[in-house]
Structure formats: structure tokens, C-alpha cells
Amino acid sequence: MMPAGRSTGRNMDIRRQAGLSLISVLIVGGLAVFAIVIGFRSVPAVNEFMAVERIIKGLAQDGDNGAPAIELRRGFDRRREIDEIQSVSGADLDISKDGNRTVIEVDYERKVPLVANVSLLIEFHASSTDR
């Protein structure tokens, strides 16, 4: 006789197990890899945008101190060579005055190749008004 609470394999309830199937794991893994690829490929574009914003804010302070627009454009071109910025040049900058403050803005796009013929287009807007 068997002790109470123990049962043999014949009497055991067969319960359905829940979880991911092999196909589900492959699909979720593929989506995760695609998201990681997008993240890794877009990091240089975001770094470039952050460098453009930093340069623009510094140049706007120079403009507040009386530097003319042509000097601000030349200064941007010098600094962009140091930071290896390729998407924007000094000619692309929109420079204006708002009272005593110099406002510098630029809109540009960056195309990031992902896989084969699939690309990601990122639109950036950098401005010195947030300083």
C-alpha cells in the first residue's frame, strides 16, 4: 500500500505546461536582435546631433557677445572638423537675433543603413534657444 499523498504515474493528473514554443523564441529573438541593431546603428547619428547642439549653444553665446554671423559660421566649420560632423556645415545654420540673444537653428536629416536595403531616416532639429 502506498502512503497517503503519493500517487503512481497512472493516477497523476496531466497538466498542460505553458511557455514559449521554439517558434515563439525565434520570433522574439529576431525582434530583439533587430531592435539592438537599430540601437547600435543609430548611436553615431545621435552622438553627432549632441555635438551639433553643443557647438551651436557655444556659438550662440559668442553671438551674444557681438560676433557677426560670418564668424559664427566659420567657427562652426572649424569645430565640426574637430568633432567629425559630416551632416551639417556652417552654411546650413539659420542665425537670427531675438532681442539681445542670438538664436542659431539647423534642421537636417541623417540616413542610417540598417540591413541590406533597409535604412532608418532620422530628422534632427538643433537649436540654441534651450540654453
Q: Which of 60, 63, 53, 57 is nearest to 108 (CA)?
A: 53
Q: What is the pLDDT of residues 18-65, one digit of tens each?
A: 777 889 999 999 999 999 999 999 999 999 999 999 999 999 999 999
Given this model, what pLDDT does residue 2 score? 56
Q: What is the pLDDT of residues 64-89, one digit of tens each?
A: 998 899 999 999 999 999 999 999 99
Dist CA 85 CA 56 (whole Å): 13
Cell of 86: 559630416
pTM for this structure?
0.77
Instruction: Say which DSSP state 87 is in.
Output: S
Q: Is the separation of the CB atoms in 43 and 114 below 8 Å?
A: no
Dist CA 53 CA 22 (whole Å): 46
